[in-house]
Amino acid sequence: MSWISRIANAVRPGRAAAGLDDELQFHLDERIDDLIRGGVPRHEAEILARRQLGNRLSLRESSYDVKSAAWLDSLLRDFSFGLRMHAKRRTASLAAIASLALAIGACTAAFTLIDALIFRPLPLPAPGQLINLARMMPAFLSADNQPSESDSFSYPQYELLRDTAREHADLFAMRLSAGLQPVLFDDAAGASENVRAEAISGQGFEILGVKPAFGRLIQPADDSVTGGHPVAVLSYAFWSHRFGASPSAIGRWVTVDRTQFQIVGIAAGPFGGVQPGYLTDVWLPLSVAIDPRQLADPDRGSVGVWGRLNAGATPSQMRDPLQAVLTNFLRDRVRINPPRNLHGAQLQQFTDAPLHIRDASTGRDSLFRLQFLRPLGILSLICALLLLVACSNVANLMIARASARNAEMALRMSLGAARSRLIQQMLMESAQLAAAACALGLLLAALIVPSIVVRLGPTEFPAWLDAGPGSRTLAFAVALSLLTALLFGVVPALRASSVSPGYALKAGGTQNSGRMGSLRWMLAAQVGFSVAVLFLSGLLLLSFRKLIAVDLGFARDNVVLFDLAPRNPESHRTDSGAKLLEYVRHLPAVEAASLAQQRPMGGAMVWIMTPIIRFSGRANETVRPIEVPVSEGFFRAMRIRCIAGRDFLSEEIAGHSPAVIVNQAFADKFLHGRNPIGETFDKIDDGPDPVPQQIVGVVANFRYNNLREPGGPSIYTPLRDAAGATLSIRTASRSASLVPWLRAEIETAAPALTVRGSILLASQIDNTMIGERLLALLAGFFSVAALLLAGVGLYGVVNYATVRRTREIGIRIALGARRAAVVRLIVGGAAMPVVTGIALGMGAGLGLARYLASQLFGVKAADFWSLAVPLACMLIAAAAAVLPPALRAADADPLIALRCE
């Protein structure tokens, strides 16, 4: 008999039983006929035949076991029995499902985000074959003095690498964009939009394996320095939200950097670029989009090199030949055009920097990915703890529920039920809870994920993650639910099935001593996990509070920032700054205006200059402060306190003055109490014959680049050129509404400039805290959830234990115990596990806090407040959970309590 018929027989037991009955009936009839033929009277024959066949029911049972899948049959019985049990204790079951769903939903959401950002391969065919080239650059070439990978190559280098690698891999070039740029669509009536436009080789889409959804993609013929086609391809996601997925987008024109491109197609489906976190909106042909002179420059890194390994090829086969041609090329270049900033051995380290062939199956590590790696890791850690809270909570509930069924279990055992059978039945009940929680959790995750994705990026620079529910999310949630079912199901199942059969026979078997036993440990675990969640969340919240309240050293409100760029990229440096400032300062509503080379609070997006300087008269000593070129009036506009000396003069901006201003940190660290005003130093990078720089002023320290670090020793040099700088305008009133008008005024005053972007300083500061803000938000949510779960769990267990001791308490009261003593009895019973749990949770929290350290600001794990806040919260929650059942017990009427049998 096949498995299918067995399963069918298990699902529909009636059919198999009917067949058996027919067969046995036939046997009886034949036997009776034989007996009658042998001379036995009919009614005796019937009795005799029956007796010979034996117990028909047990016969049917044993044959039935053969004919149907017994295990399935018992599972089905357990399933319907489990449902009945849940229906009977509806409130408790719903509470269990809700808390599990919350935790599973949170974990699934965290997994979905991390998977989409980090682990999920690009939605391309055979992503494992994708590679990306990079060089390990020596430490002296980077601003932070750490060796770093550079994946930028000049176009001639790329061509060389492509031709060398041909045997093993198809390479192509892409110019990825670090930010958004304004473009103009021909249906937008002259209003520019900020999009991420990236350039790709003609072969790029074919090598990646991207297919067009509409029209065509960029082809080799489009990508040619001589006679390429100015075409553009849109990503599906951008096309959907910008053009409402209308095919009429094809044929439209878009102006990027004053070149017009015609939209010829839409890239299919989920492919949104190679940097998870960022959506590439528009793709352009590389050699049309990049200026031909820049493209031809053999020394200027302008493209990234990507590719796909041929079937069977490995990166190690091609590394050596690629390294050789690249090093030879660089050695030639260094000979022809020696770089000014490298000397001696540094030159060789630069030309011989090792080439890495990186696995690009999950795309490139964008700044976004690096930025959110740790926050999302912390988020998963807290989610996992929350899941443990929920699991121990539900385990407690199951234990309590199972204890109430001790008599039933004992009866079943004494009737011959195997222990494994009882365990199976208990686990079935757990699995039902987990399954319901899994479904709800998936729903919850699907709701949470998009709202978190929105918060991952600043509004003007949105994050894009392909974080839709997929098979990976589903598999994770199901696996997690199975795991939780085991986690919270095994202990109660073992405990319930270990009851002795004799138990049922004892009088008053339902009134056990009421000791909590292993419940005590589960309770401690639950409190412990909750405290760990509270503690870690508390750290994140306290840290965020410190961060938003940090003293910046300047006034952040009513300042708007405009990034300026030359309208013509070929134009030479101008002294446009002074004129522009003069104009802007005379506009109504403008209080102050100034220029700075770098956007304030630019965070990791900003290039920091760290020149090496040498003080006059101290030949052997060099120091490396941060240099920020600013215009005169900068400190006044930002409301930064001037401590000594003066600001730059407008002549110093216009002419080429050797005046510098330093901050307090610079004076403290390098000048050792000498009067800074009048001190002079050289900037070594300025060539062999530098002009000595003279300090003319000292300003207070302020945080320029980043909220977390106090401005280190810095020098401020006069900024001459508005192009490429950031214009800060302080307005008299709220600035947001003035932005479009100011922007128009700036472009009128300086026709050679264009405004690339604008943002309120306050928003810019907020944008540097996105990760922290998100974590704080979720941490707050998780602490409330953990407290709630701990409180509900504690209440449930104490209440259960108290109810079971009703008789004992009744006797105590009847014998003259005071109310206070009864309350003390109940509270004392719960105190031990709660205190143990708090201690364990704090210990675990302190251990785990090390993982959070890089995200924390101004808070240490062992601080008073970090420890006191979660402790107090937990104690209050515990008191709120334990006191009501204790007071109820103390109020019990001894007569009723004694009669409750």
Partner 1 sequence: MSKQDALQGSLPLLVLKILDRRGPLHGYGITAQIEAISTLLRVEEGSLYPALHRLEECGWIRAEWTTTENKRRARVYKLTPAGGKQLLDEERRWTSIAAAIGQVLEGA
Q: List contacts with partner 1 (CB under 8 A).
A: 1, 19-20, 22-24, 26-27, 29-31, 33-34, 52-55, 58-59, 62-63, 66-67
Tokens of 653: 């901006």
Q: Which is nearer to partner 1, 34 or 893 (CB)?
A: 34
Q: Which is nearer to partner 1, 67 or 356 (CB)?
A: 67
**Dist CA 519 CA 625 (whole Å):** 61
Nearest approach, Cβ of residue 6 and partner 1 (Å): 9
Residues 6+ apart with CB under 8 A from 212: 233, 265, 266, 267, 268
Tokens of 817: 């115990």
Q: What is the total residue count of the chain?
A: 901
SS3 894: helix
Nearest approach, Cβ of residue 839 and partner 1 (Å): 52
Nearest approach, Cβ of residue 67 and partner 1 (Å): 6
Nearest approach, Cβ of residue 416 and partner 1 (Å): 19
Q: Which is nearer to partner 1, 20 or 342 (CB)?
A: 20
| Three-state helix/strand/coil letters over 446-476 | HHHHHHHHHHHCCCCCCCECCCCCCHHHHHH
Q: Which is nearer to partner 1, 62 or 471 (CB)?
A: 62
Q: Which is nearer to partner 1, 31 or 824 (CB)?
A: 31
H-type helices in 549-686, by residue range?
A: 576-585, 634-638, 650-654, 664-670
**Dist CA 184 CA 686 (whole Å):** 40
Q: Which is nearer to partner 1, 49 or 289 (CB)?
A: 49
Nearest approach, Cβ of residue 78 and partner 1 (Å): 20
Q: Which is nearer to partner 1, 58 or 854 (CB)?
A: 58
Name the residue among 616, 589, 752 with its Cα closest to residue 682: 616
Amino acid 121 reads P
Q: Which is nearer to partner 1, 52 or 328 (CB)?
A: 52
Contact assessment for residue 281 and residue 238, using Cβ atoms and an 8 Å cutoff: yes
Enter the DSSP assignment of 707.
Answer: S
Alpha carbon 78 to chain centroid, angstroms? 40
SS3 563: strand
H-type helices in 12-89, by residue range?
A: 13-37, 42-53, 56-67, 70-88
**Dist CA 626 CA 611 (whole Å):** 7
CB-side neighbour CA atoms (13 Å) of 629: 19
Q: Which is nearer to partner 1, 32 or 533 (CB)?
A: 32
**Dist CA 723 CA 715 (whole Å):** 21
Q: Which is nearer to partner 1, 30 or 460 (CB)?
A: 30
Alpha carbon 114 to chain centroid, angstroms? 5
Nearest approach, Cβ of residue 53 and partner 1 (Å): 5
**Dist CA 529 CA 395 (whole Å):** 14
- The residue behind tokens 């989009």 is 289
Q: Which is nearer to partner 1, 54 or 688 (CB)?
A: 54
Check the CA dihedral 155-157-161-163 and report its sign. Answer: positive
Q: How many CB atoms lie within 10 A of CB 181?
A: 18
**Dist CA 882 CA 628 (whole Å):** 60
Nearest approach, Cβ of residue 45 and partner 1 (Å): 14
Nearest approach, Cβ of residue 415 and partner 1 (Å): 22
Nearest approach, Cβ of residue 61 and partner 1 (Å): 9
Q: Which is nearer to partner 1, 61 or 893 (CB)?
A: 61
- The residue behind tokens 């009048």 is 678
Nearest approach, Cβ of residue 828 and partner 1 (Å): 55
Q: Which is nearer to partner 1, 31 or 860 (CB)?
A: 31
Q: Which is nearer to partner 1, 68 or 558 (CB)?
A: 68
SS3 847: helix
CB-side neighbour CA atoms (13 Å) of 218: 34
**Dist CA 756 CA 569 (whole Å):** 13
**Dist CA 584 CA 562 (whole Å):** 12
Nearest approach, Cβ of residue 47 and partner 1 (Å): 15
- The residue behind tokens 């990034």 is 563
Nearest approach, Cβ of residue 15 and partner 1 (Å): 13
Nearest approach, Cβ of residue 28 and partner 1 (Å): 9
Name the residue among 10, 9, 2 with its Cα closest to residue 80: 10
Q: How many CB atoms lie within 10 A of CB 828?
A: 11
Amino acid 562 reads F
Q: Which is nearer to partner 1, 59 or 875 (CB)?
A: 59
Query: Please, which residues bridge with residue 200 across strands?
Result: 174, 285
Distances (CA, A) of 198 to 221, 282, 532, 843: 18, 6, 45, 49
Q: Which is nearer to partner 1, 29 or 332 (CB)?
A: 29
| Cβ burial 751-766 (10 Å sphere, 16+ → b, else e) | eebbbbbbbbbbbbbb
Q: Which is nearer to partner 1, 5 or 680 (CB)?
A: 5
SS3 725: coil
**Dist CA 640 CA 622 (whole Å):** 28
Nearest approach, Cβ of residue 357 and partner 1 (Å): 53
Nearest approach, Cβ of residue 32 and partner 1 (Å): 10
Nearest approach, Cβ of residue 870 and partner 1 (Å): 55
Alpha carbon 795 to chain centroid, angstroms? 34
Q: Which is nearer to partner 1, 42 or 335 (CB)?
A: 42
**365 phi, psi to nearest 5 deg:** -70, 95
Nearest approach, Cβ of residue 30 and partner 1 (Å): 4
Residue 890 burial (C-beta neighbours within 10 Å; 0-12, 13-18, 19+): buried
Nearest approach, Cβ of residue 38 and partner 1 (Å): 12
Query: Please, which residues bridge with residue 762 across strands?
Result: none
